[in-house]
Amino acid sequence: MWFCTDLLSFGWLWGQSGAVLGSGFSCDGSIGKSLSRRIHFILLFSRQGKLRLQKWYTTLPDKEKKKIIREIVQIILSRNQKTSSFVDWKDLKLVYKRYASLYFCCAIEDQDNELLTLEVVHRYVELLDRYFGNVCELDIIFNFEKAYFILDEFIIGGEVQETSKRSAVKAIEDSDMLQETVEEYMNKPAF
Amino acid sequence: QDNIAVKANAVCKLTYLQMLGYDISWAAFNIIEVMSASKFTFKRIGYLAASQCFHEGTDVIMLTTNQIRKDLSSPNQYDTGVALTGLSCFVTPDLARDLANDIMTLMSHTKPYIRKKAVLIMYKVFLKYPESLRPAFPRLKEKLEDPDPGVQSAAVNVICELARRNPKNYLSLAPLFFKLMTSSTNNWVLIKIIKLFGALTPLEPRLGKKLIEPLTNLIHRFLISLSSGMPNHSASIQLCVQKLRILIEDSDQNLKYLGLLAMSKILKTHPKSVQSHKDLILQCLDDKDESIRLRALDLLYGMVSKKNLMEIVKKLMIHVDKAEGTTYRDELLTKIIDICSQSNYQYITNFEWYISILVELTRLEGTRHGHLIAAQMLDVAIRVKAIRKFAVSQMAMLLDNAHLIASNTQRNGICEVLYAAAWICGEFSEHLEEANQTLEAMLRPKVTTLPGHIQAVYVQNMVKLYASILQQKEQSGEKEAAQEITQLMIERLPQFVQSADLEVQERASCILQLIKYIQKLQIKEVPVAEEVIALFAGELNPVAPKAQKKVPVPEGLDLDAWINEPPSDSESEDEKPKTIFHDEEQRHSRHRQPEIDEEELARRREARKQEQANNPFYIKSSPSPQKRYQDTPGVEHIPVVQIDLSVPLKVPGMPMSDQYVKLEEERRHKQKLEKDKKKKKQKKEKRGKHHRHNSLHTESEEDIAPAHHVDIITEEMPENALPSDEDDKDPNDPYKALDIDLDKPLADSEKLPVQRHRNVETLKSPDSEAPLVEKKSKKPKKKEKKHKEKERDKGKKKEKEKKVIEEEEEKKVILQDLHYVRNCCYGPYLLLCSSVTYDIQGNLQNDSQVTVSVIFENKSTSFLKSMELNVLDSLNTKMLRPEGSSVHDGIPVPFQLPPGISNEAQFVFTLQSIVMAQKLKGTLSFIVKNDEGSTHEKLDFKLHFSCASYLITTPCYSDAFAKLLESGDLHMSSIKVDGISISFQHLLAKICFHHHFSVVERVDSCASMYSRSIQGHHVCLLVKKGENSVSIDGKCNDSTLLSNLLDEMKETLSKC
C-alpha cells in the first residue's frame, strides 16, 4: 500500500540520463519554481481501476468525463510495466506514473513537455508525502478533500503555481490552522 | 438543515460521490450556500465542491458573482486564495467579464501568495474574456520583475502561454526576457523563456544570432525540453542529434520516447541531419511499446524523400502484415497513405507502384480506413491521367474478386474500396480490356449484400460500362452480342430494383426502364450506342480546392447583382424553374433519358462550348502542353498480365508492389546509365523517352526523374489564378481572440468594465422614488429604513463612480461599452422593488440585431420566480422569440431571484431601420413567493432604443478618418449647445460614454470623433468648444440618423 517512501523510485530517470540532462533538474524544491503549461486533467486511480481523485481543468459534461475516465483507466491499466510513461490519446498525451498501487495520470497538450509533466506528478506525490507523512492510498481515500486542497495549492487552472514544497505545504498547514481554530471554537459549545 | 456544519459535511460527502461518478448537479444551490458560509472551513469545502462540479452550463453560477467578489476582497488571504482557486475551475465568460477588474487589482496585492494566484488566473480570464488582455497587460508585464520569484515565474508562465499562440505581439518583450534569461538561475523559468524564444525567433531572425551564445552554454542541460526552441546553428544541431541517438538506443523506454520526440522536432528544421539515423528509427518500429512505435512513425513521415520512399513503405508494409492490434495497424495504414500522399504526392515517382500498394492494402482485415484507401484511389486515378489505364485494370481485378473483400460483413470498412473501384471502372471504361467480364462481376447477386451507397455507385457505373460495351459492339457490327448484353442487364437489374436502399432502388428502376427502351430500339435495328454514350459524355477535370478563390473578379462584374431580375409574383409560375434548369442543364444531362433527340443535345453542347470559351471561370479542358503529364516510360514494364496464381491468400492477378520496387531500381539504373551516356555523347539528344526527363530535370545525381511528372497544383488551377496564398486561419481557434496587438496604447473602448450597474445616468434621482415607496407600501418601518439605507449606499456609489470617471478621464480613458439607463419602475408594485436596469448593445455579427442585457435585482424580501419578459413589438423593432411562439408570448427569464440577488439576462431584438430612436412598451410578469403564499405580479416598463445604442465604438485612425471625410458622400448637419460649463475633457468623455464614440484626434479645444452603426453607417463628428458653448458638426451616410444622433447629443449635453 505504501507508495513513494523513497525518492529513489523516481531517481532512475535522472540517474540514467544524468549525462545528458546534467544536474539542472534537481528535485530540490527551492530551485524549481515554474513548470509545465496547460494540464487538462489529473486522475488518480488504483490498480483495480477505482478512481481516487479527479481534477479537470477543462469543462466537459459529466457523461463525457465518465467516458473518458473509463477509457483512460483501461488504456493505462492494460499497459505493461516496462513500457514508457507516455501514451497518445486522441489529440492529447497521457503522462502517467505508478506509485505503489496508485496510478497518477495527467493529460497534456500535444506540444507540452512530457518530462516536465512527470516532474509535476512527482512533485505532487512529494507534497502529499510531506503533508501526510509517508502517504498511502488510504490517506487519500480518507482525506480526499485535503488531497484536493494540496493539488489546488500546487496547480491552478492547469498551470503550476507553486513549486516550492515548503511553501505549498505551509500554505495548506496555515489554512488548516485557521480551520482548526474555527472548529474548536465551533465545537466548544457542543461539549 | 439549518446547521451549516451539517450542510458542509453533506456537501463534502457529495463531492466524494461526484468523484465516484454520481451526478450531483442538483445540489448546486446548496453548494453555493456552503460557499457563502463565513467560516473558512466550510467555505473551503464549498469552493472545492464548486470547482469539481460547476461548469459553464451551470445556471446558478451567475449567483456566485457577488459572493466571489466579496471573497476576493476578503482581508484573509486564504479566503481570497480559495476563491481564486475555485474560480480557476469554473470561470465563465460572464464571470470573467465581471471579475476581471477585481482580479487585476489582486495582481498587486501585498501578499505574493495572492499575487501569484491572481496572475495565473488572469490567463484563464483572458481566454474567456479576451477584451481584458490589453488593459491587464501592462500590469502583467510589471509582474515579470516582481521581487517574489513565484510571482515572477507565474507571470513568465502566463506570457509564454500567450506568446505561444500569437508570438508576434510579444516581440517587444524580447529584451526583457533576454535579461531574465541571462540573469535568472531558476531552471524552470529558463525553460519557459527559451521556449518563448523558440516561438519568437522565426519572426525576428536577429534574435537567433543573439541567442546562440547563451544557449550553447545551456544546451546540454536542456537538450530534450528545448529542441523546439533551437536556433539555426548547425554545429549544435549535429551535437543534439548525436546525443539523441544515444538516448534512443537507451534501454529505458521513457528516454527512448523522449529521444524520438525531440528528433521529430529537429526533423522539422534539419531533415538532413536526422535522415542519417533512418536505420535506428526503423528499428524502433519493432518496439513492443505502442507509443514508441507511433513516435517512430511520425518521424518516418518527415524523413521520406523520392529516393527512399519505396524502401520505407516496403518496410511499413511488412509491419502491417505483422502488426497485431487493429488500432496500430490502422495507424500504420493511415501513415503509409499520409507518407505517400504528402504535399501532393511529391515523393511518388511511380504511381503504378502506389496503386498496387493501395490494392495490397485492401487485403488488410478489419481496417476502418477503407474509405481512406478509396479516396486515394479515386484521387490518383482522376488526377494522374497516365495511370488511368493501369488503375482501371487493377480495379477491374478488385471488382472481380469482390467476394474476397466483401465476404465478411465485419470487414465492411474495407468494402469502401469497391466504391472507388466501381467508379473508376465505370468512368474510365474506355481503358477496360475485358469490359464484359467486369460488367458481369458487377451484376453478381452477391453485390446486393454491400452497403447501399456502394450499390448505388455500382448501378450507375454499370450503365457507363454498358454504354461503352454497346458502342464497341456496334462499331464492330456484332449486333447479336450487343443485344445479348442488353438482355443480361435486363435480367440482372431487377435485383437492384428490389433493394431496400432508396437511392439504389431509384437509380436501378430508372436505368432498367432506360435499357428496356434501348432494347426496343435494338430490336428495330436502330443504332443506339452513340446516344447512350452521350449520356456520359464529357470528362471530369480535377479542380484544386482553392481554384475558385484564386480567380480574380474581373472588373465590372458584380457578383451580387441579379443575373435575372427575380420574377415578380404576377408572372407565370413555370418561368422560374426554366431558368434554373438552363443553368444546370449540363450536369443533369448525364441522368437524363435518351428521349432528347440527338440534335438537341448536340446543339446544347455546342452552345455550352461557346459559353465556356467566353467564360473566364471555366477551366479549359486542354491544359497547356508543358503541363501535360509525361508519357509513361515504363509502360512496357507493366506486368498487367502477370497473374500470380500460385500465391495463396492473395487476390490473384495483383502485381506485387515489390516488383515495382525492383522495376524502379532498374529504371533508375537505366536513367543513370543514360545520363552517363549523355555526358559522353553530348550531341546525341532526345532519343528515348527517358531523355525527355533528363532534359527537364537538372543534372544533379540526387534528383530522380519521376516516372510520371505530375504538376498537380498548376494543372488544377485556373489559368489566371492569383499566386497569393493566403492561408486562412481557423476562425474557431479560441486563441485567435487573444491575437491582440499589445503595444498599441489602450483605446478608449477597452477599459475593463467597472462594476456599475446602477444609476450611471441621473435620469431620475432615487430620492424621488423613495417617497413613492413610503406612500404605497404597507411594510413595517424597519424595512423602509433599510431601503433608504440602500438608496443612500447607492448615492455613495454614484459618487465613487463619478470619481472613477474623473480619474479615467485623466488617463484619457473613457468608458463607453456600458450604457446603463435606469429604467423607471412605477405602478403599485414598487413595494417589490424589483429593479430593472438594462443596456443595449449592437450585435457585431449581425447588422440587424441588438442585444439588450437586462439586470434584474430583487430588492424585496420575497422570492421571485417564473419571470417572463414581454415586449410589444413595433413594425421596426421586434423581439427575437424562439421559433413557433407568437408575438404575444413572453420570453421566460432563465433564472429565479432569491431576495437581494441580482442577475442578468439577455434578449435579442431584430430591427430593420436604425435611423430613428425607438421606444418599446413591455411588461415583466413574475410570481412572488413569500411566507404567506405566492402571488402573480406585473411590472410595466419602457425600453428606450436610442440611436446611440445602435452605434458600436470603433477606433479609427486619423488618416482613414481624413479619407472618409474626403470621399464626400456623407451628409452634414450641426448643432450648438450653450451654457456648457464642464471641461472639454469631461465633455468628450460624456460623448464617448453615452453615445459610443471614440476620439480620433484632439487638438486643444477641438476634437474629431468617430463611430460606426451596426449597419455600417460611418458617423464623424467635429466637436469645438467655445467660451460657454459647444458646437458639433456631424457627417454621416444617413441624414436622418445624423440628425437624430445630434438631437440625442444635444439632450445629453444640455444637462451639464
Do B350 and B314 form a contact (C-beta atoms < 8 A)?
no
Name the closest residue on chain B to residue A67, using Cα atoms. Answer: B21
- Could you report the per-residue pLDDT of A145-175, keeping only the tens digit for each? 888 888 888 887 777 777 677 777 888 887 7
> Between chain A and chain B, how many beta carbons pairs sit less than 8 Å apart?
185
Is B931's pLDDT higher than 60? Answer: yes
Pairing of strands B918-930, B849-858: unpaired
C-alpha distances out from residue A75 to A72, A80, B322, Å: 5, 10, 22
Residue of B45, B225, B252 with shortest CB distance to A116:
B225
Name the closest residue on chain A to residue B156, using Cα atoms. Answer: A34
Residue B910 CA to residue B921 CA, distance in Å, equals: 16
Which contacts qualify for B280-287: CB closer than 8 Å, 24 or more apart? B280/B245, B280/B248, B280/B249, B281/B248, B282/B312, B282/B315, B284/B248, B284/B256, B284/B260, B285/B315, B285/B316, B285/B319, B287/B256
How many helices (H) does chain B have, and how many strands (E)?
Answer: 41, 15
Q: What mean pLDDT comes out for the span B947-954?
A: 77
CA neighbor of B830 nearest in space, from B768, B889, B877: B768
pLDDT at B375: 82
Do B658 and B350 form a contact (C-beta atoms < 8 A)?
no
Which positions in chain A touch B93 (Cβ < 8 Å)? none
CA neighbor of B212 nearest in space, from B237, B189, B176: B237
Residue whose grid cell is 512527482:
A122
Residue B857 CA to residue B751 CA, distance in Å, equals: 25
Q: What mean pLDDT comes out for the span B722-736?
A: 46
Mention every residue, 6+ apart, whose C-beta is less than 8 A from residue B778.
B831
| pLDDT mean across residues, chain B | 69
Q: What mean pLDDT comes out for the span B549-570?
A: 68
Q: What mean pLDDT comes out for the span B61-90?
A: 83
Higher-pLDDT residue of B539, B500? B500
For residues B504, B506, B509, B510, the Cα torsion angle rounded to the nearest 10 degrees is -120
Residue B154 CA to residue B878 CA, distance in Å, equals: 48
Q: What mean pLDDT comes out for the span B637-643?
A: 37
Beta-carbon separation of B149 and A175 below 8 A: no
pLDDT at B948: 77
- Could you report the per-residue pLDDT of B249-281, keeping only the tens digit for each? 766 677 777 777 777 777 766 666 677 777 777
HSE-up (13 A, CA, CB side) for residue B528 = 26
Residue of A84, A161, A171 with shortest CB distance to B254:
A84
- Could you report the per-residue pLDDT of B514-524, keeping only the tens digit for each? 888 888 888 88
B833: left (phi over 0), alpha (psi -120 to 50) or beta: left
Beta-carbon separation of A116 and B40 below 8 A: no
**Chain A: nearest CA to B346, how far in angstroms?**
27
Q: Taking the CB of residue B305, how many other CB atoms lie within 10 A of it?
A: 14
Q: Is B254 at the interface with chain A, CB within 8 A?
A: yes
Which positions in chain A touch B252 (Cβ < 8 Å)? 12-13, 16-17
- Of A40-49, A109-118, B209-218, B619-628, which range is least confident? B619-628
**Chain B: nearest CA to A174, how far in angstroms?**
9
Helix/strand/coil (H, E, C) string of B402-468? HHHHHCCHHHCCCCHHHHHHHHHHHHCHHHCCCHHHHHHHHCCHHHHHCCHHHHHHHHHHHHHHHHH
What band does B676 get if pLDDT is binned at 50, 70 and 90?
A: low
Q: Strand, helix or coil at B636?
A: helix
Do B358 and B372 form a contact (C-beta atoms < 8 A)?
no
CA angle B60, B65, B68 (to 5 degrees): 115
**Chain B: nearest CA to A18, how far in angstroms?**
9
What band does A90 get if pLDDT is binned at 50, 70 and 90?
A: confident
Is B511's pLDDT higher than 80? Answer: yes
Q: What mean pLDDT comes out for the span B729-749?
A: 51
**Chain B: nearest CA to A134, how far in angstroms?**
23
Beta-carbon separation of B291 and A51 below 8 A: no
Q: What mean pLDDT comes out for the span B765-784?
A: 39
Which positions in chain B touch A116 (Cβ < 8 Å)? 191, 225
Q: Is B5 at the interface with chain A, CB within 8 A?
A: yes
Which stretch, A162-166, B199-203, B336-340, B713-717, has highest mean pLDDT? B336-340
Q: How far is CA B40 from the centre of its chain?
A: 43
Q: In B894-905, which positions are buried (b, 16+ CB within 10 angstroms) versus exposed (e)?
A: ebbbeeebbbbb
Q: Is B457 at the interface with chain A, CB within 8 A?
A: no
Q: Is the dihedral of CA A115, A118, A120, A123 positive or negative?
A: negative
Residue B859 CA to residue B897 CA, distance in Å, equals: 10
Helix (H) or strand (E) holding B1023: strand B1018-1025
Which among A12, A20, A74, A151 is the top mutation candidate for probing chain B, defined by the most B β-carbons within 10 Å of its own β-carbon? A20
Residue B911 CA to residue B851 CA, distance in Å, equals: 11
Percentage helix, strand, coil, to 5, in chain A?
Answer: 50, 20, 30
- Could you report the per-residue pLDDT of A65-77, keeping only the tens digit for each? 888 888 888 888 8
Q: Which of residues 133-172 of A touch B (CB under 8 A)?
A: 144-145, 148-149, 152-153, 156-157, 159-164, 167, 171
- Could you report the per-residue pLDDT of A105-125, keeping only the tens digit for each? 998 887 777 777 888 888 888
Q: Strand, helix or coil at B904?
A: strand
pLDDT at B205: 60
The letter for the amino acid at B311 is E
- Could you report the per-residue pLDDT of B403-419, keeping only the tens digit for each? 666 555 555 567 777 78
Do A106 and A80 form a contact (C-beta atoms < 8 A)?
no
Beta-carbon separation of A156 and B192 below 8 A: no
pLDDT at B906: 76
Q: How far is CA B502 from the centre of its chain?
A: 34
Is B15's pLDDT higher than 70? Answer: yes
Q: Which of residues 45-104 of A touch B (CB under 8 A)?
A: 51-57, 59-62, 66, 69, 80, 82-88
B550: left (phi over 0), alpha (psi -120 to 50) or beta: alpha
Beta-carbon separation of A88 and B294 below 8 A: yes
Is A14's pLDDT higher than 70? Answer: no
Q: Where are the alpha helices (DSSP H) in A5-158?
A: 8-21, 62-77, 114-128, 137-142, 144-154
Residue B1051 CA to residue B1056 CA, distance in Å, equals: 9
DSSP labels, B297-364:
HHHHHHH--TTTHHHHHHHHHHHHHH--SHHHHHHHHHHHHHHHHHHHHTT-S-HHHHHHHHHHHTT-
Pairing of strands B971-978, B1018-1025: unpaired
pLDDT at B211: 58
Beta-carbon separation of A21 and B253 below 8 A: no
Query: How much of chain A, in percent, has pLDDT values that exceed 70?
Result: 73
Higher-pLDDT residue of A147, B907? A147
Residue of B40, B116, B153 with shortest CB distance to A178:
B40
> For chain B, how far is it from start to end, CA to CA, in angstroms?
55
Q: Which of residues 19-58 of B touch A (CB under 8 A)?
A: 19-21, 23, 25, 39-41, 44-45, 48, 51-52, 55-57
**Chain B: nearest CA to A23, how far in angstroms?**
7
- Could you report the per-residue pLDDT of B801-839, keeping only the tens digit for each? 444 434 333 333 323 333 333 333 333 333 333 455 566
Higher-pLDDT residue of B744, B801? B744
Which positions in chain A touch B39 (Cβ < 8 Å)? 182, 186
- Could you report the per-residue pLDDT of B363-411, keeping only the tens digit for each? 766 666 777 788 888 888 887 777 788 888 888 887 777 766 655 555 5
pLDDT at B605: 66
pLDDT at B176: 78
Residue B457 CA to residue B420 CA, distance in Å, equals: 9
HSE-up (13 A, CA, CB side) for residue B194 = 29
Residue of A32, A87, A159 with shortest CB distance to B123:
A159
Residue B409 CA to residue B134 CA, distance in Å, equals: 58
Q: Is B177 at the interface with chain A, CB within 8 A?
A: no
Which positions in chain A touch B16 (Cβ < 8 Å)? 144
pLDDT at B739: 56
Largest pairwise CA distance in chain B: 116
CA angle B844, B848, B852 (to 5 degrees): 70
CA neighbor of B985 nearest in space, from B999, B968, B969: B999
Which positions in chain A touch B263 (Cβ < 8 Å)? none
pLDDT at B199: 67
Q: Which of residues 743-782 of B touch A (CB under 8 A)?
A: none
Residue B181 CA to residue B170 CA, distance in Å, equals: 16
Q: Which of residues 270-329 of B touch A (CB under 8 A)?
A: 288-292, 294
Q: What mean pLDDT comes out for the span B520-537?
A: 78
Angle of helix B351-361 versus helix B388-400 axis, rounded to 10: 20
pLDDT at B702: 40
Q: What mean pLDDT comes out for the span B487-508?
A: 84
Q: Which of residues 96-135 of B touch A (CB under 8 A)?
A: 113, 116-117, 120-121, 123-124
Q: What mean pLDDT comes out for the span B598-621?
A: 57
- Of A148-152, A184-188, B644-648, B885-889, which range is least confident? B644-648
Residue B458 CA to residue B416 CA, distance in Å, equals: 12
Q: Is A177 at the interface with chain B, CB within 8 A?
A: no
- Could you report the per-residue pLDDT of B418-459, keeping only the tens digit for each? 788 888 888 887 777 777 788 887 787 777 777 778 888 888
Q: What mean pLDDT comes out for the span B156-175?
A: 77
